[in-house]
Structure 1
Amino acid sequence: MSEEIKIYVADLAAYNNGKLHGVWIDATQALDDIQEQINELLANSPEDDAEEYAIHDYEGFAGYSVSEYEGIERAHEVACFIEEHGEIAGELLSHFGDSIDDAQKAIEDNYCGCYASLADYAEELTEETTQIPEHLAFYIDYEKMGRDMELGGDVFTIETGYQEVHIFWNH
């Protein structure tokens, strides 16, 4: 993944007094390093006794929405997952309702690959598992097979771009 995965942490004492005071932090670095940067941010606050912070912006989270009060540990965990698996990781987190465990299982155990279409996957799967008589090959409708696989709940897809369909078994 080429884009840096980062969060913008804002000093809430300054923010509540109409001042913008915050810092962009690489969310994939060690938690202690992230916390150290936040502590430094609060120590350098234009307001006395600044203690609270919130995530006010983020970049590089590949379709995953980071909440203002996400928590540094969770933001770090998600960032590392996305750094490891790329754009598809953020989309999987959205698909699974933010469950990293389910998204991880899908990538490790149920990922079939990236295809131009679900029909391409249905064709490849059929040709790898079945001997099709040559005189019947032209009668097979792979688009309908792929649609039936998805409608039947056998697979789910995540589209990340033009002719970029990621296919996962649904078990």
Structure 2
Amino acid sequence: MEHNDTPNTNQHEQPEAREVESTPRTAPLIYVASLSDYNNGELHGRWIDARLPVDEIHEKIIAMLAASQDPGAEEYAIHDYEGFYQFRVGEYDRIETVHAIAEGIQEHGEPYAAFVDLVGTEDASLDTFEDCYRGTYPTLTAFVDQFVDDMGWQQEIEKFGQRTGLGPYLSIDYSDLEMALRTEWDVIDGEAGVHIFTR
């Protein structure tokens, strides 16, 4: 069973989010099982698409329990899941919560799963995700390169260097900038690359 300080950028527009393709290997699915059957040593349950409307998911769970050989089958638990990336679905997570996460994954893929894992199910929503998400990049270095380019810092340094004659002595410390970004922003490693979130 799978239980399983950036530089001040206020004066500039932040770089546009760039999202790397991260289609889930499978749709977000949950395996819901009858607890009474499980406690009696029997496996009785069914896989359900967590993207379905909540009412429909509950109907499928009720139908699964009704089909049990145990006439007293009334309780259930989520005993397995697929398509949620690194997010761990709990045995007794509310169906409404699991459904909301599945919808976010359907729309945004792995980055949304990483976001929920980062902030927790109580604080996660599509709105907060869209406010915080800055994109997915192959590496943090690739993001920093794009960040510097979007902010126009290299061009400003070159202009200043030309005016002052200090050009040969001026450069951006990309290594320190990466460290600053990791300190002030959330950088989550994933299958598709690194997911960047502001706090």
> With structure 1 as the length reference, what TM-score do the two structures score?
0.85
1:110 corresponds in structure 2 to 132
Asked whether the equivalents of residues 157 and 171 of structure 2 are also in contact (C-alpha less than 8 Å), the reply is no
2:18 corresponds in structure 1 to none
TM alignment of 1:26-41, pairs within 5 A: 26-41=49-64
Give aligned pairs, total.
166
**Unaligned 5+ runs, structure 1:** none
Cα shift at 1:18: 1.1
Question: Which of the pair is proportionally richer in strand?
Answer: 1
1:60 corresponds in structure 2 to 83
CA–CA distance in 2 between the matches of 1:62 and 1:69? Answer: 19
Cα shift at 1:165: 1.7
- Give the letter aligned to residue 134 of structure 2: C
Q: Check if 1:73 corresponds to 2:96.
A: yes
Which protein has greater RCO, CA pairs closer than 8 Å, 6+ apart?
A: 2
Cα shift at 1:168: 2.0
**Unaligned 5+ runs, structure 2:** 1-22, 162-166
Asked whether the equivalents of residues 115 and 124 of structure 2 are also in contact (C-alpha less than 8 Å), the reply is no
Residue from 182, 187, 196 that aligns with 1:150: 182
Q: Secondary structure at the match of 1:159?
A: strand
Asked whether the equivalents of residues 63 and 90 of structure 1 are also in contact (C-alpha less than 8 Å), the reply is yes
* RMSD (Å), alpha carbons: 2.2
- Give the letter aligned to residue 175 of structure 2: E
Gap change, CA 1:14 and 1:22, over 3 Å in 2: same
- Give the letter aligned to residue 37 of structure 1: K
Q: Secondary structure at the match of 1:91?
A: helix
- Give the letter aligned to residue 132 of structure 1: I
Residue from 93, 118, 130 that aligns with 2:116: 93
- Give the letter aligned to residue 46 of structure 1: Q
Gap change, CA 1:36 and 1:128, over 3 Å in 2: closer
Cα shift at 1:97: 2.6
**Residues 88-124 of structure 1 deviation map (CA, whole Å, 9 limit, x = unaligned):** 111111111333536741x312322223333333333
Cα shift at 1:138: 7.3
User: After the TM superposition, which of the residue ranges 30-39 and 132-141 deviates more from structure 2?
Assistant: 132-141
Residue from 120, 124, 131 that aligns with 2:146: 124
2:74 corresponds in structure 1 to 51
CA–CA distance in 2 between the matches of 1:140 and 1:37? Answer: 57
2:172 corresponds in structure 1 to 140
Cα shift at 1:83: 1.3
CA–CA distance in 2 between the matches of 1:128 and 1:121? Answer: 10
Gap change, CA 1:136 and 1:149, over 3 Å in 2: farther
Q: Secondary structure at the match of 2:181?
A: helix
CA–CA distance in 2 between the matches of 1:58 and 1:137? Answer: 55
> With structure 2 as the length reference, what TM-score do the two structures score?
0.74
